[in-house]
Amino acid sequence: MRTSRQLEHMRVLAVLLMLGFAAFPIYWMFVTSMTPSSELFASSPRLLPAWSQLSIYAEIFNTIPVATWLKNSFLVAAGTTVLSILLAVFPAYALSRFRFAGLAVLGFALFATQMLPEAMLVVPLYSIFGDLNLLNTIPGLVLANTAFVVPVITWIIKGAIDSIPFEIEEAARVDGCSRLDIVLGIVIPLVAPTLAAAAVISFFHGWNEYVFAQTLVSSENLRTASVGLASFVGELSTPIHSVMAVGVIYTLPAIIFYLFAQRYVVAGMTAGSVKG
């Protein structure tokens, strides 16, 4: 009996350690942002935030174009989400419901994109976007990101459509509905939770993306938060707590949003992947 209680204690300890490991770096970013410059390099580190420093969060909006960066990241993320979902639903349905020549090719092509590093495609995309007049534009970034997001969410949505019984669609077909009606009227409402998951995944991808935002856009006022934040790496003139404050402003909305959405994401992602 005693050993099982000890085991219970060990389990609690293990869970706490794990959560500490997961949360500490984000906590530390926050604490650093709330540490006065004078204490940053003190012999013993400050482990709790100095709440008197909260004004730093108002200050950086005056000294650093954070608002513009966040706005651009939001536009890229929102655009990527909308375009990706629009593009992914129909091929996901086709992959799930039709047997056609080229099915395997489409499936493999979607998977193969997971192997392509963004850094490799930057140069050719740069010249294509140059021809299309999309360099230095938010829509350009949306198009580039969508190319990497669509394959992932197509598979996830396909997994969800797989789990819808055929009979539901059959009944609608008997009633004379076309395939388009079926997808729009029956399938989309039924896979709505997975679409929400796919939307969250797309949004995150766009919000976090760095390589394209760094290379396909050059003008200052189109900088995304990832590029803005990266510009502080190795740069010494901006105080470290300001840099961390920008990091917090960029990271925290993503985490909070994610904590609210994670139930959908987990359910949506695993609906397809568990069955393999």
Partner 1 sequence: MKRAQLARERLDGHPWTPYLFAAPVGIYLLLFQFYPLIQQFYMSFTATDLLTPTVNPFVGMENYSFLIEDGELWKVLSVTAIYTVACVVFAIGVGLGSALLLDSPFIGRSLARALITIPWAAPSVAVALIFTWIFNSQYGIFNRALTELGLQLGGENWLDNASLALPAILLTTVWQIFPFSSVVILAALQGVPQELKEAAVIDGADRLNIFKTATWPTIQPTVLMLTLFVTIWSLRRFDLIWLMTQGGPIGATNTMVIELYRQGFVYRDLGTAASIGMIGLSIALLVTVIYFKVTQMTEQAQGKR
Of 11-70, binders to partner 1 (CB under 8 A) are 11-12, 14-15, 18-19, 21-23, 25-26, 28-29, 32, 40-41, 44-45
Contact pick of 74, 75, 230, 239 for partner 1 (by CB under 8 A): 230
* CA pseudo-torsion sign 253, 258, 260, 264: positive
**One of 34, 66, 88, 160 touching partner 1 (CB under 8 A):** 88
Structure tokens at 13: 């300890």
Closest contact distance (angstroms) between CB of 192 and partner 1 is 19
**Segment contacting partner 1 (CB under 8 A): 51-59, 63-71, 88-96, 187-195?**
88-96
CB of 101 to partner 1, least distance (A): 9
236 touches 81 (CB < 8 A):
no
**Nearer residue to partner 1 within complex by CB, 61 or 238:** 238
Q: Which of 68, 136, 208, 238 binds partner 1 (CB under 8 A)?
A: 208
Alpha-helix runs per DSSP H in the chain? 2-33, 37-40, 56-63, 66-97, 103-112, 118-131, 138-162, 166-174, 179-182, 188-190, 192-208, 211-215, 225-230, 240-273
192 makes contact with partner 1 (CB under 8 A)? no
Nearest approach, Cβ of residue 52 and partner 1 (Å)? 21
Q: Footprint of partner 1 on residues 108-167 (CB under 8 A)?
A: 109-128, 143-144, 146-147, 150-151, 154, 166
Contacting partner 1 (CB under 8 A), which of 66, 94, 141, 161? 94
Least CB distance to partner 1 at residue 94 (A): 4
3-state secondary structure 156-223: HHHHHHHCCCHHHHHHHHHCCCCHHHHHHHHHHHHCHHHHHHHHHHHHHHHHHCCHHHHHCCCCHHHC
- Quick one: 218 or 273, whose CB is closer to partner 1? 273
